[in-house]
Amino acid sequence: MRTAPTILHLDMDAFFAQAEQASKPSLRGKAVVVGGIGPRGVVATASYEARVFGVHSAMPTAQARRLAPHAAYLTPRGGFYRSISEQVMGLLRQLSPLVEPLSLDEAFVDLEAGGVAWDSASSRLVGVRLRAEIREVTGLTGSVGLAGSKMLAKIASEQAKPDGLVLIEPGTERALLGPMSVRTLPGVGPATGDHLRRAGIATVDEIVEAGEDELVRLLGKAHGHGVYAMALARDDRPVVAEREAKSVSVEDTYDVDIHDRTRIGLEVQRLAERCVRRLRGAHLSGRTIVLKVRRYDFSTLTRSETLRGPTDDVAVVREAAARLLDAVDTTGGVRLLGVGVSGLADYTQEDLFAQAAEAAAAADAAESAETAEVARIVRERAEGGQEAEADRPPGPEGAQPVERRWHPGHDVRHTAYGPGWVQGSGLGRVTVRFETPYSGPGRVRTFRVDDPDLEPAEPLPLVPEPSGGGEAVGRAHA
Ligand code: DCP
Ligand code: MG
């Protein structure tokens, strides 16, 4: 616990949804839900307008549709969110060498270590400037918390939401924490929270009143001591710059269990290719190839093979994955397949998704359904949720249509009408709304799915890049 509020926590507001609203003028101020749209899809996030209806992250999309039938439902554009995340993390790294990303849109920064702040006034100034810079560079809002510890900085950014800044003056944290729910404390999840509540402990003050011995009796030694210390606002956890990447992996869950052995083999090949693309994208190579199979009854197994040296060769990874699959009994069908590469030989600091893969690997090792679920969510966050649905095969074996698939929310370009995004598709038709981040709300047109004038396109940046010669480009058109 420091005596100056020089630990900063940044969390972008409704990150994926805000990025979508900034991209699509017709959705500004509207309920927007971003997530998997298939039968087993889950919500990645919802705009604040959609949260009013009770829609939130990790809720099944089917349930969200019942709560908010009129919201726009969009498939995540993971690469786009990652590029915004890189811009944001880049701004944070200008403040300090100690930046600890927690997910694509969230990080701790040690301002003191960066020499940019030493007291309340200087910390606040850095926070205010940072929010303005993020706005300028990405076009989006993020909330900032400043405090003398990580726990309080995170609580502060939560209080600041949306689009705000909260600084907790050192010395005031005990009084602030006291009436809060025990669930506010790091280390108190739903299960621990219930356990404490049954013992008559609902608030942080009640933990302090119960005393350390009682906490240890209720939660065990390590956990009890830890939670008690947090209740007293004793949090000395340092901001850690980088967590080493342990593996890169991809996986797919299938709407319908796959039984056909040939199809399973093809899926594994496809996953191996995707995994290598990702590995290469992160400038990594690895020695151990891992295959993950979840069977019809949810039993999950992983098999691995370690090569003589690290590889990023797609043929090598494909063959190893195929060999591993040979030794797995898939009778009864599989509902999930995954391919990963671990024992990484190189490491890049920006490798956010590998951190998530690390969490996933840890969860696999623990073989606990709860941690696996958390890891899945973490991984989906880091990947921008894009893999969960976008690459999912359309249905039962062999039902792959030849036509291109148009995912709602994804970018397209029409030779005559220009850039737009897919609003929906079905029955051989695709509807496109023609608008850009810099236009007003656009109009909708319908095409045949195989219209040769319509092409998938790259996302447009939210803030237009200045044109040549440093000439300024207007940015507030909407
Ligand atoms: N995310 C996800 N699955 C989850 C939770 C989040 O895919 N279960 C993704 C979508 C979010 C992003 O990660 O936009 C950041 O997560 P946050 O928890 O920070 O949520 P938001 O930024 O959406 O909203 P808030 O304003 O509450 O931070
Ligand atoms: Mg956020």
Instruction: Report DSSP letters for 288-334, one per residue.
Output: EEEEEEEETTS-EEEEEEEEEEEE--HHHHHHHHHHHHHTS--TT-E
205 annotated to a ligand binding site = no
- Which residue's alpha carbon is at the smallest distance from atom 2 of ligand 1? 44
In the reported structure, the alpha carbon of residue 141 is separated from the centroid of ligand 2 by a whole-number distance in angstroms of 10
pLDDT category, 381, cuts 50, 70, 90?
A: very low
Per-residue pLDDT tens digits for 234-285: 999 899 886 555 678 899 989 889 999 999 999 999 999 999 998 887 777 8
Ligand found nearest the CA of 19 = 1
Per-residue pLDDT tens digits for 94-132: 999 899 888 889 999 999 999 999 999 999 999 999 999
- Note the pLDDT of residue 351: 35
Residue 83 lies in a domain: yes
- Note the pLDDT of residue 353: 38
In the reported structure, the alpha carbon of residue 14 is separated from the centroid of ligand 2 by a whole-number distance in angstroms of 5
Beta partners for residue 45, in sequence order: 34
Decide whether any atom of ligand 1 lies within 6 Å of the 106 Cβ. Answer: yes
State the closest ligand 1 atom to the C-alpha of 43, by its place in the atom list counted from 1: 3
In the reported structure, the alpha carbon of residue 402 is separated from the centroid of ligand 2 by a whole-number distance in angstroms of 38
Q: Are residues 313 and 203 in the same domain?
A: no
Q: Are residues 175 and 35 in the same domain?
A: yes
| 335: Cβ contacts below 8 Å, ≥ 6 apart | 253, 254, 257, 258, 294, 295, 296, 298
Q: Are residues 177 and 198 in the same domain?
A: no
pLDDT category, 205, cuts 50, 70, 90?
A: very high
Residue 75 has pLDDT above 70, yes or no: yes
- Domain enclosing residue 358, as ranges: 247-381
Residue 171 has pLDDT above 60, yes or no: yes
Decide whether any atom of ligand 1 lies within 6 Å of the 57 Cβ. Answer: yes
Residue 391 lies in a domain: no
**Residue in 21, 37, 45, 48 to alter for ligand 1 test, most ligand atoms within 8 A of Cβ:** 45
Decide whether any atom of ligand 1 lies within 6 Å of the 364 Cβ. Answer: no
Q: Are residues 260 and 340 in the same domain?
A: yes
Between these two residues, 371 and 34, which has the higher pLDDT value?
34
pLDDT category, 332, cuts 50, 70, 90?
A: confident
Alpha-carbon distance of 422 to 394, in angstroms, equals: 18
Q: Are residues 97 and 180 in the same domain?
A: yes
Domain boundary among 201, 231, 261: 231
State the catalytic residue, choosing from 20, 106, 173, 435: 106
In the reported structure, the alpha carbon of residue 471 is separated from the centroid of ligand 1 by a whole-number distance in angstroms of 36
Decide whether any atom of ligand 1 lies within 6 Å of the 15 Cβ. Answer: yes
- Which residue's alpha carbon is at the smallest distance from atom 9 of ligand 1? 381
Domain boundary among 178, 201, 231: 231
State the closest ligand 1 atom to the C-alpha of 12, by its place in the atom list counted from 1: 22
Per-residue pLDDT tens digits for 383-419: 443 333 333 334 444 444 445 689 999 999 999 999 9
Residue 388 lies in a domain: no
In the reported structure, the alpha carbon of residue 164 is separated from the centroid of ligand 2 by a whole-number distance in angstroms of 12
In the reported structure, the alpha carbon of residue 134 is separated from the centroid of ligand 2 by a whole-number distance in angstroms of 14
Alpha-carbon distance of 369 to 367, in angstroms, equals: 6
- Which residue's alpha carbon is at the smallest distance from atom 28 of ligand 1? 13
Residue 395 lies in a domain: no
- Percent pLDDT > 90 in the chain is 66
Decide whether any atom of ligand 1 lies within 6 Å of the 20 Cβ. Answer: no
What distances in angstroms separate CA 301 from CA 107, 253, 257, 295, 296, one per listed residue? 33, 14, 16, 8, 12
Decide whether any atom of ligand 1 lies within 6 Å of the 12 Cβ. Answer: yes
Q: Are residues 174 and 63 in the same domain?
A: yes
Q: Are residues 304 and 332 in the same domain?
A: yes
Q: What does the pLDDT average to over 69-86?
A: 93
| 313: Cβ contacts below 8 Å, ≥ 6 apart | 276
364 annotated to a ligand binding site = no
Alpha-carbon distance of 197 to 205, in angstroms, equals: 13
Residue 347 lies in a domain: yes
Q: Are residues 265 and 210 in the same domain?
A: no
CATH number where 415 lies: 2.30.30
The tokens of 147 are what? 């405090």
- Note the pLDDT of residue 463: 92
Q: Are residues 73 and 1 in the same domain?
A: yes
CATH number where 147 lies: 3.30.70.270
pTM: 0.70
Q: How many CA atoms lie within 13 A of 288 on its CB side?
A: 12
| 469: Cβ contacts below 8 Å, ≥ 6 apart | none
Task: State the average pLDDT for the chain.
Answer: 85
Residue 137 lies in a domain: yes
Q: Are residues 421 and 449 in the same domain?
A: yes
Decide whether any atom of ligand 1 lies within 6 Å of the 13 Cβ. Answer: yes
**Residue in 105, 134, 163, 377 to alter for ligand 1 test, most ligand atoms within 8 A of Cβ:** 105
- Which residue's alpha carbon is at the smallest distance from atom 12 of ligand 1? 15
Residue 394 lies in a domain: no
Q: Are residues 171 and 223 in the same domain?
A: no
Residue 71 lies in a domain: yes
Provide DSSP, 32-61: EEEE--STT-BEEEE-HHHHTTT--TTSBH
State the closest ligand 1 atom to the C-alpha of 381, by its place in the atom list counted from 1: 7
CATH number where 285 lies: 3.30.1490.100
Between these two residues, 211 and 372, which has the higher pLDDT value?
211
- Note the pLDDT of residue 366: 38
Decide whether any atom of ligand 1 lies within 6 Å of the 105 Cβ. Answer: yes
What's the total number of domains in the chain? 4
Q: Are residues 129 and 263 in the same domain?
A: no
Is 106 annotated in the active site? yes
